[in-house]
Chains A and B, each alone.
Chain A
Amino acid sequence: MRKIILLVTLLLLALVLCSCHGSEERVAFEIPESFDATKEYKIVFWAKNENNSSQREVYNRAIEEFEALYPNIDVTIKHYTNYDDIYNDVITNIQTGTTPNVCITYPDHIATYISGANTVVPLNDLVLDAKYGLGGSEVRFDAPTYDEMVDEFMDECYIGDRLYALPYMRSTEACYINKTYVEALGYEVPDILTWDFIWEVSNAALEKNSDGTYKVNGQSVMIPFIYKSTDNMMIQMLAQQNAGYSDATGSIQIFNDTTREILKTIAANTKSGAFSTFGIASYPANHLNKGHCIFAVDSTAGSTWMGSDAPLSDVHHGSIVDFETVVRPIPQYDVDNPKMISQGPSLCVFNKEDTGEVMASWLFVQYLLSNETQIAYSQTEGYLPVTSKAQQSAEYQDYLARAGEDNDKYYSIKIDATKMLMDYTECTFTTPVFNGSTSLRNAAGEMIEDVAKAVKRKKNVNDKYIDKLYDDVTALYRLDQIGSFDGKLRLGELPATSVALLCGIGLTWVGIITYVGVSYFKKRRSRN
């Protein structure tokens, strides 16, 4: 009997050990006493560029300079041209434990990454570490201090009370306007656009000549208002009206009457021909430069594509028309209280077994925040450096002052877009981050795209339609399965291996107790 019980117990223990297989949870990162500058480290950085060779050059130069400062650290960069590809690759590599060391990211994405424990390194302690923190005593270059990081941009990188990323560059959306056409229609471009102004001018631009061409441009195509990112469009229209979108706990509030009115307005203006989207009409910049569009809303990080003299263009040179371009904040409902989204890449550090490797990654992240990298990268597009140290530097101020000197580094539209963000930094906002916030963002854009498509396909966008749309996007993006985020991570159902582990532990205890019990009674009998 004793042998059987022993065997069963051993079997159960074996089960317990087996169930431990596959568990790759890392221990939480702790800052080491010192960074071993003699040990060789290889770190991988996944970066994103706007298909812009000058951005790649800035990254490559930063790596070169950083490796010269830290000869023991070898940085390998992988270039991406969109955030989604990075996100998808990170998700895949989390499962196999092969994440990069550092990657460009959005806080929305990090909310998914941190579903696995200790995947992303919280930076709260690192940024303040006296030796290796921001501007720390042991850092070998002139890094910004914590106080030199722009508060608004830092705030975006907290999830709950944990700092999971640092901002790298910031942008917002801007409205790039064909001022020539606006004035030809009898209007003046105000300092701050209203939505009413946009719709009014856009509809006025649809007047045609007897030959079917549009009066304002003399061409057969005119899409007066094109919005690149419809998710941003919905988010900002809601925020400007203080309407629900979601809250910090992950509660979905987007399906409200304000959203309904926004969709009806979009339907009406799509029907008239005043409005279209990137998904339907293609890039706003292409249409703006061809004289097909009057108001093009796109990121300030896309400013080098905007205007007759834009340094970057996909459009055949012969198709580009001459016009004066001006940059304004996106249209507003309340001009006295403008609101616009803050966006742009952030940097996160992935946890690794070797704390030295994490420290090497962290030092590289700091180097990307140095003036050298910040100023150089921000000049590649309408980006704003995320440190006051860089923003206030003489070099950067000189750059801003030279707007219009050429159509390349000093391209006026690009610098105007950057200045616009500097002027309105306090008016920027971000949406709450939680596991599922990416889906909600996609749903916000999908509703506008869907309504615009439906109108073009002669569907009637009324309350019934919108009710169904709400249901459809809820199902498509599983918004009804997004749980509230209360500061603790939701880990979902236990994996089968964990269930087996727990069962094994329980059965082991049952076996032990049984064994002890049987032994006890046997002893008692023998004493009797």
Chain B
Amino acid sequence: MKKLFACLLCLFMLVALVACVHQHNFVDGKCECGESDPNYQPDDGNEDPFENLALMSYADYVAAEIDDPVYIEAYVQAHQSWWDNKITVYAADEDGAYFLYEMACTQENAAKLTAGTKIAVKGYKGEWAGEVEIMDATFEFVEGGDTYVAEPVDLTDVLGTDELIDYQNQLAYFDSLTVKEISFKNEGGDDIYVTVTKNGHDYSFCVEVYLTGTDTEVYQTVANLKAGDTINVTGFLYWYEGVNTHITEVTKVGVLSYDEYAAAELDSYVIVDMYVQAHQSWWDNKITVYAADENGGYYLYEMACSEEDAAKLTAGTKIRVYGYKGEWSGEIEIMDATFEFLEADPYLATAKDVTEYLGTDELIDFQNQFVKFSGLTIASIEYKNGEPGDDIYVGVSYGGATYSFCVERYLTGPDSDLYKAVMALEVGDVVDIEGFLYWYEGVNTHITSVTVK
């Protein structure tokens, strides 16, 4: 019995050895051993679909029918991890974007698919659950090609509209989304599904683990998000039964403290809670507000506001402001802002005496705050229009230097006590002044009270 087993084993080993040294000789995709050629494409009498296919523009590509062969040149923007001689690539040119699904690629070439690299791609236009992609693709590097990395497109306003799909596969940016739910595809370590809301509608975004692995900052940030968080999102506008952005970057947008606001870059989007201190007159659904919190002052230039809401912007009212940090002739302000009312006890700043800082570089640190100056001498009084009714330019001198302050008529108009008091001032009067530390090519306090000593 043992001998019989030994003989059988030897026979099997012999067969195995023969099989190992066998070189496939494929004829019509078949080897005599019965093995099939994985790369075999039967000659069905048709021409090679790519043989005479001209290079397509993005518009040509968009116009192509599903399942048509397509031939494009594009620039790699990012890719998912290489696997089994395939790679999924997010690509773009200046006109649009492409999703190259499981494109044939050696591991060696995958390493060369860095962002910006120009490649020529041949494949078939496909569609899967709404996602338009290039399938069964092959590619070549474009020798001597330039590079291009697309900037994110701000699609916040397009979210929820039929236009959104026109940006499919592009690198998109969405502003101020609210996190509704965070869930994992499996346990932690797999894709993260992020449900966000904007303007009352829910959208499903995704952290695709093959694009942004688990060790990345974006993965960790998203994993730790909580319902109610506000986030700015950048990602590729993938589609799966609707928008399903593959997130590449996320910024948690908290309400900024004054210090964070002060440190924020110009033109950045900011959200700040603050208290109204005063405002200029409402006009054309806009209002300019002087605001403050315990740590600093804010100037909200022409903030969107209904006339009804303007009436509620009384001194001390707490509001949350959404807008862009801007600068105009030295004045730091929040531009293109909107706001909402917050429930809170009112806060009114007390005037901070900054007389000692006049003429120093430190004065600007108090910009937009409610301040007071003591012992200033009136150097000049000039009406903007040459007569009462418009702004009054008040020249004040202190420590041998003269500064330009202002009675801003939209803040304290000709009927106000302040306007009348300033009209009555004479050159040489020594005064104490309170006001908001506005800036125009230097200090230009908007005066709210004046007291002759």
Contacts and interface: CB of A to CB of B under 8 A. Distances in A.
A79 B385 contact: yes
Contacts of B385: 49, 51, 56, 79-81
Given A457-B154, A458-B152, A459-B154, A314 B387 contact: no
A80 B387 CA distance: 10
Q: What is the interface residue range for chain A against chain B?
A: 20 to 34
Contacts of A78: 389
Contacts of B267: 456-458
Closest 8 CB pairs of A and B: A79-B385, A282-B329, A460-B153, A459-B154, A56-B386, A456-B267, A314-B441, A282-B328
Given A51-B385, A283-B329, A460-B153, 19 more contacts: A51-B384, A80-B385, A282-B328, A282-B329, A286-B441, A315-B441, A316-B442, A453-B324, A457-B154, A457-B324, A458-B151, A458-B267, A459-B153, A460-B150, A460-B154, A464-B158, A464-B163, A464-B167, A468-B157
Interface string A446-477: 00000001101111101011001000000000
7 contacts: A51-B385, A79-B386, A280-B326, A286-B329, A459-B173, A460-B150, A468-B163
Interface residues of B, number: 28
Contacts of A79: 385-387, 389-390
A314 B269 contact: no
Given A282-B329, A316-B442, A457-B324, A53 B386 contact: yes
Interface of B: 95, 150-154, 157-158, 163, 166-167, 173, 267, 269, 324, 326, 328-329, 336, 384-387, 389-390, 440-442
Given A53-B386, A314-B440, A468 B173 contact: no
Contacts of A281: 328
A49 B384 CA distance: 10
A191 B151 CA distance: 38
A469 to B, nearest CB: 11
Contacts of A280: 326, 328
Contacts of A464: 153, 158, 163, 166-167
Interface in A2-58: 49, 51, 53, 56
Interface of A: 49, 51, 53, 56, 78-81, 280-283, 286, 314-316, 319, 453-454, 456-460, 462, 464-465, 468
A503 to B, nearest CB: 34
Contacts of B163: 464, 468
Nearest to B335: A453
Nearest to A282: B329
A464 B172 CA distance: 13
Given A80-B385, A81-B384, A462 B153 contact: yes
Nearest to B387: A79
Nearest to B404: A314
Contacts of A465: 153
Contacts of B269: 457
Contact of A458 (B158, B173, B328, B441): B173
Nearest to A278: B328
A49 B386 contact: yes
Contacts of B152: 458, 460
A268 B163 CA distance: 24
A231 B440 CA distance: 24
Contact of A316 (B151, B158, B390, B441): B441
A459 B336 CA distance: 15
Most buried by B among A280, A316, A464: A464
A286 B328 CA distance: 11
Contacts of B173: 458-459
Most buried by B among A51, A78, A80, A319: A51
Contacts of B166: 464
A281 B326 CA distance: 10
Contact of B151 (A53, A283, A460): A460
A468 B329 contact: no
A20 B166 CA distance: 57
Given A282-B329, A456-B267, A81 B151 contact: no
B237 to A, nearest CB: 12
B148 to A, nearest CB: 13
